[in-house]
Structure 1
């Protein structure tokens, strides 16, 4: 504090620190992935995710609206869907099949489709909310390349196929699909997806 000619002046304040919203989002998503993997979808809480991210509960809601939306956004399968869809439409089924099998074989327990299936057995409301959020994300992505009046039906059928394969291969783990070598599964799944999306 400096006195000069009867007036008191204060040192100039430093520049105000402004956090980049994208930094907050990245911190929240990282904390969400850890919490969902550690506690599962049902027991993970927004408050714990906020605490680990170093933000408020309200900021998490401001960025992601609901727990379901946060879960879907934090999981790599749907988060990377936009990158998978971008490219040559003629090879989209192969890219989707390869990415799906690679992701699920590596870390099925943390995948939103597995969480959806398991939630359906105990909490129908949560399962519906998860499915609607996942359906919206996939519809927005696939609508870029799937055209026509029946596009929504085709995209919904694609999701149904992936849910079915997930249940067979990664949840109950019984039958030919469960034991099929990854390369063969990718090839057969790609053929089915091509028929659904483009035939």
Structure 2
């Protein structure tokens, strides 16, 4: 049997799932998680309700997939930016501003992350794995800066990573409660506090 034909059904399934996730993003952003329905998502994706259930068992599973997809996109982008030697400050600022364009998805992420802390939650394993992956990646970045002598005396890489993630998540939560709040300036100020400037650069440089 031709290899292309063998791949056909799998490619079609992947494309259909992508259509569903795009439709779900739009539905969640417009109606919120509670207001969105699988039937509305199916309609937007151009399939039947039964067709959607062939790919996802329930709305929780759809939401988890939507958020995981966005997370994967940002993870990939972070590596692209790093390869291009773009400033982490600039990357994070752009990411936060992008998130603010869809506050409903930010809110859903925060709600799901809290709910998934329960071991019995269907997204528990995903969030545990994600948290460890992000923590490990951030700690490694902090260790590189420690080796360059850029962490303040007495601040180890693991603690710097934990503080950074706490500030990042906390600022986003504050913005959800007050969307007039500027969270970029405090984030940059936090960078100034925990990351010493590289040789020959001032404390407000963008090499952090």
Name the TM tier (shorter chain): 0.5 to 0.7
Distance 2:71 2:191 in 1: 17
Q: If the length of structure 1 is used for normalisation, what is the TM-score?
A: 0.57
The structure 2 residue matched to 1:43, chosen from 35, 38, 41, is: 35
SS at match of 1:59: coil
1:169 Cα deviation (Å)? 2.3
Distance 1:95 1:135 in 2: 27
Contact 2:32 2:104 (C-alpha < 8 Å) held by counterparts:
no
Q: 1:25-51: CA deviations, max 9, x gaps?
A: 320111110121122123334454344
1:116 Cα deviation (Å)? 4.1
Greater radius of gyration (CA): 1
The structure 2 residue matched to 1:102, chosen from 97, 109, 116, is: 97
Cα pair distance change 1:51/1:137, threshold 3 Å: farther
Q: 1:74-108: CA deviations, max 9, x gaps?
A: 5x465322211342598664254223332134333
| Count of matched residue positions in the alignment of Structure 1 and Structure 2 | 168
The structure 1 residue matched to 2:56, chosen from 57, 60, 63, is: 60
1:132 Cα deviation (Å)? 6.3
Segments of 5+ residues of structure 2 without an aligned counterpart are 144-155, 197-208
1:160 aligns with 2:166: yes
Q: 1:139-186: CA deviations, max 9, x gaps?
A: 4366456438x9887666544322210122232358xxx246x4x345
The CA RMSD over aligned residues, in Å, is: 4.4
The structure 2 residue matched to 1:85, chosen from 66, 72, 79, is: 79
Contact 2:20 2:52 (C-alpha < 8 Å) held by counterparts:
no
Distance 1:171 1:132 in 2: 28
- Structure 1 match to 2:68: 73
Distance 2:127 2:22 in 1: 19
- Structure 1 match to 2:16: 24
Q: If the length of structure 2 is used for normalisation, what is the TM-score?
A: 0.55
Cα pair distance change 1:135/1:68, threshold 3 Å: farther
SS at match of 2:177: helix
Distance 1:100 1:71 in 2: 17
